[in-house]
């Protein structure tokens, strides 16, 4: 029997182990995603609202995406050591760029006529953001969060190599769990990544106004420059 087949046997006979590791994996992932959303969405929305310093959102995104996660973990070792905190910081650096960029582009490309109409009705800047720009920008914002979430779930396996726990514990310890265990944990990881993709895709659809659901939108992987995104919208 091949290791790929015995991996299913490992999953079947080690359900409690995988359940605990998966719970830890999800806790790490959700913590990193939450921090990234709290930091990236408000900043991106603000920059999109004022229509300035777009280079900040784009360049931060490009730099963040180009940094290897293992290199970031290594750089942080002298500061925070081999801890879960090290992994969380690394995952936030990974997730922050697409969330920031999509939030910026989503608000920046909101129909100016709608914004001007809101201002003409006497709305204050904060009201314009909350009642006009943010509702129209939510679909693309969630697209960025979805992309970041899948990145985080897949990369959180590094926690097993740096004392953070999760499915990476099994993947990093082939002598203890054998190749079938490594492959079995990888199967679970694939399912998690697909589940996150479907979950956030559903949320993205739910927050999209009915009138906009059939209109083509710029995907998160396509957002490179605000000018290009506006031309494609």
Please write the tens of the pLDDT for every residue from 28-37: 999 999 999 9
* DSSP tag of 131: I
Other C-beta atoms closer than 10 Å to the C-beta of 140 total 27
Place of tokens 């969380």: 88
pLDDT at residue 57 in the model: 67
Could you tell me the pLDDT band of residue 141, with boundaries at 50, 70 and 90?
A: very high
The yes-or-no verdict on residue 51 having pLDDT over 60 is yes
Angle at CA of residue 232, ends 231 and 233, nearest 5° = 95
pLDDT at residue 1 in the model: 54
> How confident is the model over 57-74, as a mean pLDDT?
74
Instruction: Provide the CB-side half-sphere exposure for 103 (13 A, CA).
Output: 26
Instruction: Find how far residue 58's CA is from the centre of its chain.
Output: 16
Average pLDDT, the chain: 82
Could you tell me the pLDDT band of residue 226, with boundaries at 50, 70 and 90?
A: very low
The yes-or-no verdict on residue 232 having pLDDT over 60 is no
Report the C-alpha gap between 159 and 122 in whole angstroms: 50
* DSSP tag of 208: S
Which 3 state secondary structure label does DSSP give 74?
helix
pLDDT at residue 215 in the model: 58
Do 11 and 186 form a contact (C-beta atoms < 8 A)? Answer: no
Domains of the chain: 16-232 (1.10.3720.10)
**Of 17-26, 142-151, 176-185, 213-222, minimum mean pLDDT range:** 213-222
The yes-or-no verdict on residue 225 having pLDDT over 50 is no
């Amino acid at each position: 029997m091949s290791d790929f087949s015995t991996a299913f046997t490992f999953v079947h006979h080690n359900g409690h182990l995988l359940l605990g590791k998966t719970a830890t994996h999800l806790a790490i992932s959700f913590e990193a995603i939450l921090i990234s959303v709290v930091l990236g969405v408000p900043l991106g929305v603000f920059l999109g609202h004022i229509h300035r310093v777009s280079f900040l959102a784009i360049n931060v995104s490009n730099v963040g995406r180009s940094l290897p996660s293992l290199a970031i973990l290594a750089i942080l070792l002298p500061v925070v050591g081999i801890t879960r905190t090290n992994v969380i910081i690394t995952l936030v650096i990974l997730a922050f760029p697409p969330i920031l960029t999509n939030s910026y582009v989503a608000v920046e490309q909101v129909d100016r006529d709608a914004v001007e109409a809101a201002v003409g009705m006497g709305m204050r800047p904060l009201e314009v953001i909350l009642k006009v720009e943010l509702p129209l920008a939510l679909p693309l914002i969630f697209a960025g969060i979805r992309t970041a979430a899948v990145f985080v779930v897949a990369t959180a396996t590094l926690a097993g190599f740096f004392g953070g726990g999760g499915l990476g514990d099994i993947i990093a310890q082939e002598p203890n769990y054998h190749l079938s265990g490594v492959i079995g944990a990888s199967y679970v990881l694939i399912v998690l990544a697909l589940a996150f993709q479907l979950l956030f895709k559903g949320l993205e659809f739910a927050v999209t106004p009915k009138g906009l659901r059939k209109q083509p939108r710029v995907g998160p992987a396509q957002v490179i420059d605000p000018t290009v995104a506006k031309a494609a919208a």
